[in-house]
Every structure is written in structure tokens, then in C-alpha cells.
Homo-oligomer: A and B are copies of this chain.
Amino acid sequence: MLALAVLGSGKGSNFQSILDAVRDKRLDARIVCTISDVADAFILERARRAGVPAYHVDCSPWKTKLEGMGEERVLELLREHGADAVALAGFMRIVKPRLIEAYRNRIVNIHPSLLPAFPGLRAWEQALAYGVHVTGCTVHFVDEGTDTGPIIAQRVVPVFDSDTPETLHARIQEQEHLAYPEALQWLAEGRLRVEGRRVFRD
């Protein structure tokens, strides 16, 4: 059974989809701990309600990356709880090489676009402004770049003429909540093989 740690900064809707999948036995994992860089993030409350150890880690003085003391503390918690893998769920900091190297191809993220289109923040707004007719979400391993790691799964979402950023984002999130637990289950089953940039499912 996969020992999975979750890192997040916000409300944790993707974390909830992971918790639900574990409860429903669609995801063969144990959530060993949940860590947030935001003391009052709702993701920590979700963890507590589910009986998962929840930690706030102070990541100052940096605002957008996980480095130094905060990174050290996260690594310590991951080891303490025996985490095999890490799922980022709305974690708003860039993960730096030290953590990436410690968990190479064991840190997974979900991004609200069909990467490599629209990396970075508020991808659904970028997609709408660009005028694409389809977008979606991407589950990928985390590497040293921003949203550049090997892709595990992608799901497609149509963009409608009538869409606002809110309606499009909601439609993408529905697919995220299906894609993320499914991809984590493949990881739990040991079925994912990374060759260069490509991820094969054995």
C-alpha cells in the first residue's frame, strides 16, 4: 500500500478527491500526513476531520518557493511518516531540487490545463484569453521546471463561447477530481515507467 503525503496551500478540493478515493477503495493508499505552508488552510482541517496528521510548516522568508528551513522540516516530516510518494494538491510554492532529488519521480502534481499549454498560475484564465476551444488537466511528475515534468495522465474539457473563468475552472476541476486519484492508483500499483519525458503504463 502506497504511503502518500499531501502538500497543499488552499481549500484542498483535490485532496478531498484523494480521501474519497481511499475511502471507496479506488485508491490503494494510506495518507500518512498532510502539510501546508498556510497555517489556516482548509486542507489541514480536512486532514484533521479524516484523522490524518496535519502540519503547518513555516516557509518564510520565501513567498513562492520551498527552500531552507521549511524544506528541511517538510523532508523531516516525510521521513518521520515513512512517505513513499508526495501528492501536491494546490501547493503554491515551487519545489526545489533537494526535495525533488529525494523523491525523484515520486512527487506528483495536477495542473489545470493540457500541458505544455498554459503553465503557471490561473491556467483556465490563460486558456480563455488565448481562445482555445479545448483545455483540461494534466497529472505529472514534478521536476525542476515549472509544470514541465513527465506527464502521467491528461483529461480534456471543452471551452464554450459562453464560458467565464469561473464556469471553465469548475468544469476542469470536475475532471481533476477523477484524474488525480486514478493516476495515483497507477503509481500505487507500480505500473508507471518513466523513460525520458514519456510515462508508460505497464
A145 at the interface (CB under 8 A from B): no
Report A114-147 CB contacts with B as 1/0, cut-off 8 Å: 1111100000000011111110100000000000
Residues on the B chain within 8 Å of A117, using CB: 114-117
Are A154 and B131 in contact, CB atoms less than 8 angstroms apart? Answer: no
A151 touching B136 in the complex, CB below 8 Å, given contacts A117-B116, A117-B117, A200-B161: no
A115 touching B136 in the complex, CB below 8 Å, given contacts A156-B156, A161-B201, A200-B161: no
Show the binding face of A for B, using Cβ within 8 Å.
114-118, 128-134, 136, 150-151, 153-154, 156, 161, 196-201
* Chain B: minimal CB distance from A133 (Å): 4
Residues on the B chain within 8 Å of A196, using CB: 131
A86 to B161, CA, bound (A): 25
Beyond the given A115-B132, A131-B196, A133-B151, please list 17 additional residue pairs across the A-B interface where CB-CB is below 8 A: A114-B114, A114-B117, A114-B132, A116-B117, A116-B132, A117-B117, A128-B198, A129-B197, A130-B197, A131-B150, A131-B151, A131-B199, A132-B151, A133-B153, A133-B154, A134-B156, A161-B201
A156 to B135, CA, bound (A): 10
A196 to B132, CA, bound (A): 13
Q: Can you list 13 A-B pairs, Cβ within 8 angstroms, ordered by A?
A: A114-B132, A115-B117, A115-B132, A116-B118, A116-B132, A128-B198, A130-B151, A131-B198, A132-B154, A133-B154, A134-B154, A134-B156, A161-B201
Residues on the B chain within 8 Å of A130, using CB: 116, 151, 197
Q: Across the two chains, which residue of chain B brings its CB closest to A152?
A: B133
A134 touching B136 in the complex, CB below 8 Å, given contacts A117-B116, A200-B161, A201-B161: yes
* Chain B: minimal CB distance from A4 (Å): 22
Q: Across the two chains, which residue of chain B brings its CB closest to A156?
A: B156
* Chain B: minimal CB distance from A129 (Å): 7
